[in-house]
């Protein structure tokens, strides 16, 4: 394969020794996921499932900025504006199937969450068996900032983080460090970024767990762990309005900063996200949660603030979204409930 050919391929696939290597290859777009990429990953996983040469699967990102910034939401926006929302629906259906496949894969899946790992980047790595972060990791689910809600199994993961840390992450949309990701259950191993090349080389011949035990070091102290006492108290409130009231009453500067951040997000997305998290905590499997997220994702496009959020963030880039409704108190329970109803074209059906 020539250098030009490699640059044209959105996913690079290679078997090196006993390692099946998946490299997301859109570095200029921070490896944001397209339908072509999701399909390529699914095909590789299926092919390597029965390939005795492959004992471990690696998922990494090309370039030096990060694993993946999420799904290609600009492409989704363009499809909906062109009157072709089915492309967005098909993408999410395939992506969520990939998330589920990764969580049950019969061979070790090592995800390198170095640098930026947001949204769909979390989905393609944090459901694997061996999740690696570094001192450069910025891990998060920023969807409420674009009129969306955490998906790709994000509400499954965040609802199972210690205490209310996942609620804090989901409603602020702020990225966290590698140490915080480990504390929240989004990652397992802390490796210095300077060791990643050697780690990957070792994975071509060695057992995944043994290799990671060799290269992993103790993570620094987690800032979220230190803040857990006030976060748990504040985010236990039953409503977004109640959470904001509690945040504004605290003495901790971080609480006031969180309140200011949350107040800029889509009121609809905030209320839908809080309900989705609380519901996900009661569901028994990742597949059940992905089915729920599929409903919510489609509703965000058809009745939520997704188009306006993407317009303000990526299209016009004015950073001044006109949320509708604009105030939390105007987002009624019936409006929120509608996001969780079965779509007219049918459920995703991962949970059977």
Among 71, 43, 39, 36, residue whose Cα is nearest residue 57: 43
Give Cα separations from 84 to 76, 78, 87, 201, 291 (angstroms): 9, 9, 6, 43, 22
Which region among 40-49, 109-118, 241-250, 340-349 has the lowest average model confidence (pLDDT)?
340-349
**Token duo for residue 268:** 């609809």
What pTM does this model have? 0.95
Which entry of 120, 153, 304, 309 is annotated as an active-site residue?
120
Query: To 5 degrees, how large is the angle CA 318–CA 322–CA 327?
Result: 135
- 164 flagged as catalytic: no
Sign of the C-alpha dihedral computed for residues 101, 181, 174 and 274 taken in this order: positive
Q: In sequence order, what are the residues at sequence separation of 6 or more whose Cβ sits closer than 8 angstroms to the Cβ of residue 26?
A: 10, 32, 34, 37, 62
> Residue 103: which H helix or E strand, with range?
helix 85-103
CB 16: neighbour CB atoms within 10 A?
15
Give the tens place of pLDDT for each residue, 10-29.
999 999 999 999 999 999 99
Q: Assess if CATH 3.90.226.10 describes domain 3-339.
A: yes
Give the tens place of pLDDT for each residue, 176-187.
999 999 999 999
Calpha distance 166→273 (Å, rounded): 11
- 78 flagged as catalytic: no
Calpha distance 184→225 (Å, rounded): 9
Among 54, 62, 59, 45, residue whose Cα is nearest residue 20: 54
For residue 352, the model assigns a pLDDT of 81
For residue 345, the model assigns a pLDDT of 80
Which entry of 60, 143, 164, 291 is annotated as an active-site residue?
143
The mean pLDDT of 240-265, rounded to a whole number, is 98
Which entry of 20, 70, 71, 309 is annotated as an active-site residue?
71
What percent of the chain is predicted at pLDDT more than 90?
96
pLDDT band at 346 (very low <50, low <70, confident <90, very high): confident
- 151 flagged as catalytic: yes
Calpha distance 74→290 (Å, rounded): 22
- 95 flagged as catalytic: no
CA 128 vs. chain centroid, Å, equals 13
For residue 7, the model assigns a pLDDT of 59
Which entry of 151, 180, 188, 293 is annotated as an active-site residue?
151
The mean pLDDT of 167-179, rounded to a whole number, is 98
- Three state DSSP letters for 147-187: CCCCCCCHHHHHHCCCCCHHHHHHHHCCCECHHHHHHCCCC
* Contact by Cβ (8 Å): 189, 212: yes
Residue 156 φ/ψ, nearest 5 degrees: -65, -50
């Amino acid at each position: 394969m020539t250098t030009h050919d490699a640059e044209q391929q959105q996913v690079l696939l290679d078997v090196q020794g006993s390692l099946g290597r998946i490299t997301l290859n859109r570095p200029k777009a921070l490896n944001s996921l397209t339908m072509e990429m999701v399909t390529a990953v699914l095909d590789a996983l299926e092919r390597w499932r029965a390939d005795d040469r492959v004992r471990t699967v690696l998922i990494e990102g090309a370039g030096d900025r990060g694993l993946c910034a999420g799904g290609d939401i600009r492409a989704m926006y363009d499809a909906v504006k062109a009157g072709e929302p089915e492309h967005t629906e098909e993408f999410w259906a395939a992506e969520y199937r990939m998330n589920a496949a990764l969580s049950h894969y019969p061979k070790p899946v090592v995800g390198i969450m170095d640098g930026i790992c947001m949204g769909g980047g979390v989905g393609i790595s944090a459901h694997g068996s061996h999740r690696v972060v570094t001192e450069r990791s910025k891990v998060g689910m920023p969807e409420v900032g674009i009129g969306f809600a955490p998906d790709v199994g994000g509400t499954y993961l965040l609802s199972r983080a210690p205490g209310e840390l996942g609620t804090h992450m989901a409603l602020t949309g702020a990225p966290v460090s590698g140490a915080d990701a480990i504390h929240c259950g989004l990652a397992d191993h802390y490796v210095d970024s300077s060791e990643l090349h050697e780690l990957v080389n070792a994975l071509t011949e060695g057992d995944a767990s043994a290799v990671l035990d060799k290269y992993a070091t103790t993570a620094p102290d987690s800032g979220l762990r230190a803040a857990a006492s006030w976060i748990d108290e504040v985010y236990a409130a039953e409503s977004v309005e109640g959470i904001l009231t509690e945040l504004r009453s605290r003495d901790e500067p971080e609480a006031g900063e969180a309140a200011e951040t949350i107040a800029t997000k889509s009121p609809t997305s905030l209320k839908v996200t809080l309900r989705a998290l609380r519901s996900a905590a009661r569901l028994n499997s990742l597949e059940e949660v992905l089915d729920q997220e599929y409903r919510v994702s489609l509703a965000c496009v058809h009745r939520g603030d997704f188009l306006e959020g993407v317009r303000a963030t990526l299209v016009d880039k004015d950073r001044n979204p006109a949320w509708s409704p604009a105030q939390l108190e105007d987002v009624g329970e019936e409006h929120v409930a509608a996001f969780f109803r079965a779509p007219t074209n049918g459920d995703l059906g991962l949970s059977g």
